[in-house]
Amino acid sequence: MSLKKDIAELRKAGVINEGTAEGIEAYYKKKESAPSNRLLIVFGILGAILVGLGIVLIIAHNWDELPVALKSGLAFLPLVIGQIACAYTLLKKPKNQVWRESASSFLFFTIGASISLISQIYHIPGELDTFLLTWMLLALPLIYVMRSSAVALLYLIGITYYALYFGYFDYPETPPYYYCLLLAALLPHYLLLIKKRPQSNFVVFLNWLLPISLIMVLGSFSQGFSKFIFLDYSSLFGVFFLLGGTSFFQRQHWLKNGYKIIGLLGNLTLLMVFSFDAIWGELRTEELNENYLSGFPFIFAALITLIGLTILFWRMQNKDSPKVSPLGFIFLVFAGIFSIGLFSVSAVVLTNVLILAIGVFLLWRGINENHLGVLNLGLSIVAVLVICRFFDTDLNFVLRGIMFLIVGLGFFFANYKIFKSRKNEN
């Protein structure tokens, strides 16, 4: 039977009243329309991008044969069309998200196209980083005027590319500090989006793209002081993990919690790298002087560690906040091991012990919570540690074989125990 017939039958039987029936119908209408709205937004954005590219390609086909005045007019034509579309949207359809996202995405690309075409027509010299910076600055108001999350995503990708080119490929004398200001300009929109539309797909995309952007760009701030950049990454991963454990992100599906996943996997990867003695040997060969302590990597490491401690203290004092996992302290433990490693060979042993402790903790937690994902993550950490030591030690093949045998049996028996307990519960 259809939903309407069911509701009518329940209403007739007196199970539900008129108000309840109308509420149920309204709820399901809204639920059914949500997927179609998402598809309309996606196809609207894709359509706007394709139309913009189509206009550029049509113009480019006969570009060399056109006079300069006509070229200039055609260079501004897509930009004018995009502005008209945005103005029409603001005046006639301000609440229509499909129109807002489509029109603003189209205008975003026409800004870049117009800048590049005018530069080509009048032979205006310039570097790629300058072009990207100009484009992103002109596109920034679109995020707030049009309330466009699609442009926010494109803007984030653009400023990340700018920082990567400026910081890694162009080798300037200074790091891409403008990236910090450009990113800060995006944060109010991101926070407002989290507050008003926490279940939006745009929030999910930003939850992943924002930390990925920071990770990619961070290395460009090393300024030759590569020793402390590892502390920067560890502290940044720690802050990500702590943010991902707050109430808002804990309510999200784990695949939507980019901060927690990136924070945990990032620190685990970093620890695996430092489980080898070779990297500690390279760090100890670099002479530590006062320039290191005044360089950006050390200052940033201290600052981000302070932020991490602040989040830790706030979560521990806030009764409504989820309990802080011991994994949230990894970046602080690593900072202590790192300090020891600059002067002592014992750091490699401490790192391996820390990795093993994390693996055992997750294994124990997976068994207690009857969670196969957590259990196998802990076993995987132990297995990867064993594989790393397989290539990094002088143990004979018998001992190595025994190590693999123990880990393999651990996988089998731990999973078997959980499956058996679940079967008994059913």
Task: Please write the tens of the pLDDT for every residue from 253-304.
Answer: 888 899 999 999 999 999 999 998 888 888 777 666 555 555 666 777 788 8
Cβ atoms of 134 and 115 closer than 8 Å: yes
**pLDDT band of 344, cuts 50, 70, 90:** confident
Residue 426 CA to residue 384 CA, distance in Å, equals 34
Q: What ranges do the domains of the chain cover? A: 228-337, 345-426
Please give the pLDDT value at position 15: 62
Check pLDDT > 80 for residue 51: no
* Token pair 């494109």: residue: 154
At residue 138, does pLDDT exceed 90? Answer: yes
% of the chain with per-residue pLDDT over 90: 29
- Is 212 a residue whose pLDDT tops 70? yes
The predicted structure's pLDDT at residue 10: 65
Separation CA 272–CA 194 (nearest Å): 34
Residue where the block lists tokens 């803007």: 155
Confidence category of residue 32, pLDDT binned at 50, 70, 90: very low
Give the integer Cα–Cα distance in Å for 355 and 386.
11
CA distance 374 to 203: 25
**What pLDDT is stored for residue 163 in this prediction?**
92
pLDDT of 28? 55
**What was the pLDDT predicted at 108?**
93
Residues 6 or more apart whose Cβ sits within 8 Å of residue 321: 246, 247, 314, 315
What pLDDT shows up at residue 229?
A: 83
Q: Which of 98-107, 118-127, 321-330 has the lowest mean pLDDT?
A: 118-127
Q: Cα(106)–Cα(123) distance, rounded to whole angstroms?
A: 25
Residue 366 has pLDDT above 90, yes or no: no
Mean pLDDT of the chain: 81
Question: What is the rounded CA–CA span in Å between residue 157 and residue 217?
Answer: 12
Q: With a threshold of 0.85, does the pTM exceed it?
A: no
Lookup: tokens for 27:
């709820």
Range with the poorest average pLDDT among 164-173, 202-211, 376-385: 164-173
As a residue count, the chain comes to 426
34: confidence class by pLDDT, cuts 50, 70, 90: very low
- The answer to whether the CB of 138 falls within 8 A of the CB of 158 is no
Find out whether 186 and 137 touch, Cβ atoms under 8 Å: no
Asked whether 338 and 384 are in contact (CB, 8 A), the reply is no
Range of lowest pLDDT (5-19, 97-111, 114-128, 199-213): 5-19
The residue written with tokens 């010299």 in the block is 125
Q: DSSP string spanning 138-191?
A: HHHHHHHHTT-HHHHHHHHHHHHHHHHIIIIIS--SS--HHHHHHHHHHHHHHH
Whether residue 139 is predicted with pLDDT greater than 90 in this model: the reply is yes
Mean pLDDT, range 167-186, rounded to an integer:
83
Q: How many whole angstroms separate alpha carbon 423 and alpha carbon 426?
A: 5
- Which residue in this structure is represented by tokens 């900072």? 335
Q: What is the mean pLDDT of residues 184-213?
A: 92
